[in-house]
Structure 1
């Protein structure tokens, strides 16, 4: 099977691309439906695509025919924009975060809502801990929270910059560290300790100014050697990570003409895909920092900066 990537846009379309040829192999048009595509996620077994569309999540079969646009299941229950969507590693459940101040867990086997967390502030991002027993979220109130799935409670809370909204969080694939980026372009890094050692769960390691303008996304590579940060300044920055969690600016990826909203690494960390309000997605080679493919086709991105409504977003998953 060829490597594919998926993009979604304010034009209400979801597009599947053959990564190396740049050919759009399938378009989900969602005729008659309202709502922009906020976030995308692909299930661990590569069978399903979850698309967060305004207040709901549609689940599509990836192997369906090129003309298939009907979801196999739809999850509804949020009352405001869904800002984050992630699969459990075994594909048993899906987690969503929303501007309605809740985090919800959906059972993919029954199609029902399994659990609901009240965050008390609009949620900007949620990621599943590699141990699959915890969630890490961030919100508009400037808080980062750890949620224990077995006890159904928030067990830890961090406020690195007061009430400055935290836009994005990312966890190392081995669960060793957490990185968060805020609305002022600053990144914060914590080492995650095993509490059985008697050390604090989250140990602050460093902080640095990644961008001078609004940060939209931060993402650790699968091999935990790099951090990618996306911004309103139209650039993507690649930071190398030392064994002692020192972050050094390695490359600045330039080419997008408007805000860069999202990014995704290939499984081997050799490539990065980015998506922008300039209506394009780009495939970058990490070694050279050059664009090796550009994907054109979406006819709406965004000319506004209505951040909380996500009207400018072009999302991508690789």
Structure 2
């Protein structure tokens, strides 16, 4: 796709702009300037270091080496850890080496880490002299390739079916748009007659959740087009595992269909009952289905018999997203936390680490960077996405958006995609070491 640079437009602010005080410089000069590392810092004076931090003998400035040794995988989860101690204070390496306050609480964010609201609106005339960011991201590891515009409301799902050269996006504007991966052009739009609550792909299949149905279960290779009835209300979450399709519904049920290969179709299999409020997120790993709900709980279901074997009650608000990583389960909530769960000796899950955010957390996504290191993407309801190295939770960067980012999808060749509440889809790419050096 063609690379497009972010333009800077503007209009004058009416208040006086002053540089950072000496006190502010003293508070922040222990951090290295992102822009200096990339060779493009224009701040005078800059409140951050224009030199690398010294390496301490205890490895305090290094990211946890476990992140280099473990790979990210959303399937094949094994709930057995040699380090599991059976309590939340066990010898987990999650969150170690982050620095900062105890318990994973981040320090207050400085102005220079905040995107300029006038830049977002397209009317800032300060340009390079603006003390706020005129960029859609703060990181030396990623680049913005291009925005794709067309949807009129929130993008709630992004799909890249295997064997296809098309990208599919679903929105609350009741449409699915089809994008050509070579040109970046929208080549089609399908009106579904209802808001898209979620959308996933599994192999060549695309599954789209709308009110009272999973509409347009497409097979992009065979052109099979199905519509699965049964849900009551909006379908907020879809997952696939053990040759079954699962849908989390507005009435708190999880409906299951069995895939029949002979007829290339799906047959109703079960209705999983337990949640008291809508099920908004689902994920499958190692013969377990994990469901997050507006009732503030996560339920664990055994896929061999479709029975609930544990209910996790540590969150105090809606559980917005669930994610499997290595031998851990990650959950996030509007209670402003990300919790890492590990299995005890009895097989039950307990919290082994809690990461505190400044805002409610909407979505989690895990992927590899260009050096094959696992990175967690954490979307919050302040219209930003934080990037964290795993398992240390060291900050890696930040992505900004016009509105909340509800959809994040991994692509091939170091690509990934984000869709926000304004209907804008952005295409991103991980930078290799060579590209970072060239930019510097």
Which of 301, 311, 323 is the equivalent residue of 1:190?
Answer: 301
More helix by share: 2
Q: For residue 186 of structure 2, give the secondary structure of its aligned residue in structure 1.
A: coil
Alignment pair present for 1:57 and 2:176: yes
Q: Confirm or deny: 8 A CA contact 2:284 2:290 kept in the other structure.
A: yes
Partner of residue 27, structure 1: 147
Structure 1 gaps, min length 5: 1-10, 194-200, 302-312
Which of 28, 36, 56 is the equivalent residue of 2:154?
Answer: 36
User: Residues 189 and 237 (structure 1 numbering): CA distance in 2 closer, same or farther, change over 3 Å?
Assistant: same
Which of 205, 208, 223 is the equivalent residue of 2:309?
Answer: 205
Q: Confirm or deny: 8 A CA contact 1:22 1:294 kept in the other structure.
A: no
Q: Confirm or deny: 8 A CA contact 1:253 1:290 kept in the other structure.
A: no
Q: Confirm or deny: 8 A CA contact 1:17 1:25 kept in the other structure.
A: no
Which segment drifts farther, 202-211 or 108-117?
Answer: 108-117
Q: For residue 184 of structure 1, give the secondary structure of its aligned residue in structure 2.
A: coil
How many residue pairs end up in the alignment? 267
More strand by share: 1
**2-side partners of 1:258 and 1:125: how far apart?**
22
Task: Provide Cα deviations, 1:10-58, integer angstroms capped at 9, x if missing partner.
Answer: x9xxxx989862321221122xx42221122333468543211221222
**2-side partners of 1:216 and 1:18: how far apart?**
25
User: Residues 235 and 215 (structure 1 numbering): CA distance in 2 closer, same or farther, change over 3 Å?
Assistant: same
Task: Provide Cα deviations, 1:162-221, integer angstroms capped at 9, x if missing partner.
Answer: x4222211111x4x111111112111112221xxxxxxx223321121310111111222
Partner of residue 360, structure 2: 259
**1-side partners of 2:202 and 2:137: how far apart?**
24
Q: Confirm or deny: 8 A CA contact 1:227 1:241 kept in the other structure.
A: no
Q: Confirm or deny: 8 A CA contact 2:171 2:197 kept in the other structure.
A: no
Partner of residue 190, structure 2: 75
Partner of residue 305, structure 1: none
Q: Confirm or deny: 8 A CA contact 1:18 1:24 kept in the other structure.
A: no
Q: Confirm or deny: 8 A CA contact 2:156 2:199 kept in the other structure.
A: no
Which of 233, 238, 263 is the equivalent residue of 1:121?
Answer: 233
User: Residues 288 and 146 (structure 1 numbering): CA distance in 2 closer, same or farther, change over 3 Å?
Assistant: same
User: Residues 243 and 231 (structure 1 numbering): CA distance in 2 closer, same or farther, change over 3 Å?
Assistant: same
User: Residues 97 and 160 (structure 1 numbering): CA distance in 2 closer, same or farther, change over 3 Å?
Assistant: same
Partner of residue 288, structure 2: 177
Q: Confirm or deny: 8 A CA contact 2:288 2:301 kept in the other structure.
A: yes
Structure 2 gaps, min length 5: 1-119, 121-135, 411-440
Partner of residue 220, structure 1: 324
Q: Confirm or deny: 8 A CA contact 1:22 1:295 kept in the other structure.
A: no
**2-side partners of 1:25 and 1:253: how far apart?**
30
Which segment drifts farther, 236-245 or 281-290?
Answer: 236-245
The structure showing larger relative contact order (alpha-carbon pairs under 8 Å, at least 6 residues apart) is 2
Task: Provide Cα deviations, 1:75-109, integer angstroms capped at 9, x if missing partner.
Answer: 332x22211111122x2x211111x2110202324
Alignment pair present for 1:140 and 2:244: no
State the TM-score, normalized to the length of structure 2: 0.55
**1-side partners of 2:333 and 2:373: how far apart?**
20
Q: For residue 197 of structure 2, give the secondary structure of its aligned residue in structure 1.
A: strand
User: Residues 50 and 19 (structure 1 numbering): CA distance in 2 closer, same or farther, change over 3 Å?
Assistant: farther
**2-side partners of 1:86 and 1:269: how far apart?**
24
Alignment pair present for 1:317 and 2:427: no
Alignment pair present for 1:86 and 2:200: yes
Which has more radius of gyration? Answer: 2
**2-side partners of 1:57 and 1:229: how far apart?**
28
